[in-house]
Amino acid sequence: QVQLVESGGGLVQAGGSLRLSCAASGRTFGSYAMGWFRRPPGKDREFVAAIGWSGSSTPLGESVKGQFTISRDNAKNTVYLEMNSLKPEDTAVYYCTADTRVATIVAGSSYYWGQGTQVTVSS
């Protein structure tokens, strides 16, 4: 089992930045691909970013390219989502997820999910 706990969400003004963290516990963190999804109010879940176990593969969703960055620290069992130039349309619940393959995460089929953290961007 892998347990995922997100943190770092909150209220920020448009143009601001936030860094989300996802702490993982359970099985060997370093062997898992990790990722982030978000669910804006009233909309479907959307892929945001993923990162392979080594950090060499970091696909991003089209709507966040050039704006968000994903990284991981295997020594701390933590994955991060750096969000810059935030816009009101980035308002969503952000979910951390884990699986053995990046492709599985990108497809939205990953097995492990966190409870989510709310990000609200005011205009």
Which carries the bigger pLDDT value, residue 30 or residue 123?
123
pLDDT level of residue 30 (50, 70, 90 thresholds)? confident
**How would you label 20-36 residue by residue, b for 16+ Cβ within 10 Å and e otherwise?**
bbbbbeeeebeebbbbb
pLDDT at 10 over 70: yes
Helix, strand, coil % over all residues of the chain, rounded to 5: 10, 50, 40
> pLDDT tens across 32-58, in order?
999 999 999 999 999 999 999 998 899
Structure confidence by residue, pLDDT tens digits, 64-83: 999 999 999 999 999 999 99
